[in-house]
Structure 1
Amino acid sequence: MTLRIVHLLFIKVLLPEVTWCQDVPVDISQSLSVLIQEEANIRSQLDADLTALAQTLDALTNLQNNVTCGCPGRRPPVAFSATLTNEITSLGTNQQVPFDKVLTNVGGAYDSRHGEFRAPYDGTYEFSVSLYMRGARWAGLEIVREGVAVSKVRTGDGSEYTMAGTTVTLALRAGQDVWVRHIDESDSNAIDGETFPTFSGHLLQV
């Protein structure tokens, strides 16, 4: 069909004007008329296809907005969880605790090398930390935002194993850091690992 249209255009452009005079044979005139009509039909079909394509694109856009709620300021999810695998026996005052085994790190905001979470964008976040201690000693940890403690947990007993935790909700600006450190009220410079202690957090809303 395309070759026939090209052929028609070639005839219309390159043949002398005389070929369109009244002495053109009837069969040629009829063939040209058929080609012209076919070209018009093709153009009409292309216009219809373009309209249908635009409608499909609009439908897909609406579907995407529904899936993502179409909310202004929507951001990808952020969530992490890490555990402490080994006992630490030489914690200093206010020393940062590196929760080394990463279980979840959606968004990549948690750095296991230093045990720090860095907010990728402004929003409200929730953090929790748990602490596990053997008998005959106690210790404490605190969640820290930009160097300032915002929540503490401590546990211990004269003979029994103990475990405790705390959770806090924080408003963070993009780039602010949150981590866990050893509190100075502890009577021990050690905390047990074995994946019992955990440090977790996730984005609630932006």
Structure 2
Amino acid sequence: MLFLCIFIISVQLCHGMFDGMTCSDVGAVKLRLEEEKEKRLLLQNDVEILMLKVGNLERKLEKETDGSSSRSRNVAFMAYRDTPLTNIGLNQKLVFDKVATNEGNGYSAITGIFTVPISGIYFFTWMTAHAKTVVSPDTDLVTGIVVNGEYKVHTAAVVTHGFNMGGNSAVFRLNAADNVWIGVSLGNGIYSNSGSRWYYPTFSGFLVQP
């Protein structure tokens, strides 16, 4: 009798809770819910794996981008002239037509002009040579570094001795697209020991800090 009462109460609870569903239906629903829970857990696991992969790809891309940015900030050049130059005009640009280094492609061996690729602080140095018996025999050779058409720093190779050299260095904060070159303020010839490895006239520069 007690068992029958329990059974009747269970049936009534089933009907009350699930609106007419049988207990077997309830069991099926529970089973279905368990299956859905397992699928949800599997899906969640897949999502976590995908998120990890995305995170790894983002870090890799960021690293490659930083590397690319670093490479783009590498600006340095060194050029020289291996033939003498005579009959130089006042304020003429000296063209150092042989390029040894040109990271960033800022220097032109055709025009002799360095065009600033990116803004920053730059260091420059140049060296000129004068041979009294070969070029400009009676006049000192005075050259200067020019920024956007304005002379900034000069150096001189005087005619006192048979062979003379002059050089200087400068540091400037420059903007992208600024132009820098070496110009002649006095004298009409620059010497180079053509055909040898002794290249006296040189022009170099590099980016110190963006």
TM-score (norm 2): 0.68
Instruction: Tell me the distance in 2 between the aligned counterparts of 1:123 and 1:43.
Output: 51
Is it true that 1:103 corresponds to 2:100 in the alignment? yes
Count of aligned positions: 176
Is it true that 1:80 corresponds to 2:77 in the alignment? yes
Displacement of 1:165 = 1.1
The 8 Å contact of residues 72 and 104 in structure 2, kept in 1 or not, is answered as: no
Instruction: Tell me the distance in 1 between the aligned counterparts of 2:39 and 2:75.
Output: 56
Instruction: Specify which of 111, 120, 123 is matched with residue 120 of structure 2.
Output: 123
Change in 2 beyond 3 A, CA 1:59/1:121: closer
Is it true that 1:198 corresponds to 2:202 in the alignment? yes
For 2:189, give the aligned amino acid: A
Secondary structure of 1:182's partner? strand
| Per-residue Cα deviation, 1:66-111 (whole angstroms, up to 9, x for no partner) | x76x99xx96121111001110011111111110001111111111
Change in 2 beyond 3 A, CA 1:173/1:33: closer
- Higher deviation after alignment, 139-148 or 46-55: 46-55
Bigger Rg, which one: 2
Secondary structure of 2:47's partner? helix
Q: Partner residue of 1:47?
A: 47
Instruction: Tell me the distance in 2 between the aligned counterparts of 1:141 and 1:62.
Output: 46
The 8 Å contact of residues 134 and 156 in structure 1, kept in 2 or not, is answered as: no
For 1:169, give the aligned amino acid: V
Pairs within 5 Å for 1:151-190: 151-184=153-186, 186=187, 189-190=188-189
Once the two structures are aligned, what percentage of the paired residues are identical? 26
Name the Cα RMSD after superposition.
Answer: 3.5
Displacement of 1:177 = 0.6
Q: Partner residue of 1:12?
A: none
Instruction: Tell me the distance in 2 between the aligned counterparts of 1:62 and 1:179.
Output: 37
Structure 2 unaligned regions, length at least 5: 1-21, 26-31
Secondary structure of 2:85's partner? coil
| Per-residue Cα deviation, 1:120-163 (whole angstroms, up to 9, x for no partner) | 23221111110122245441211111111111111144444232
TM-score (norm 1): 0.69
Structure 1 unaligned regions, length at least 5: 1-20, 25-31
Instruction: Tell me the distance in 1 between the aligned counterparts of 2:178 and 2:63.
Output: 35
Instruction: Tell me the distance in 2 between the aligned counterparts of 1:78 and 1:59.
Output: 26
Instruction: Tell me the distance in 2 between the aligned counterparts of 1:91 and 1:199.
Output: 17
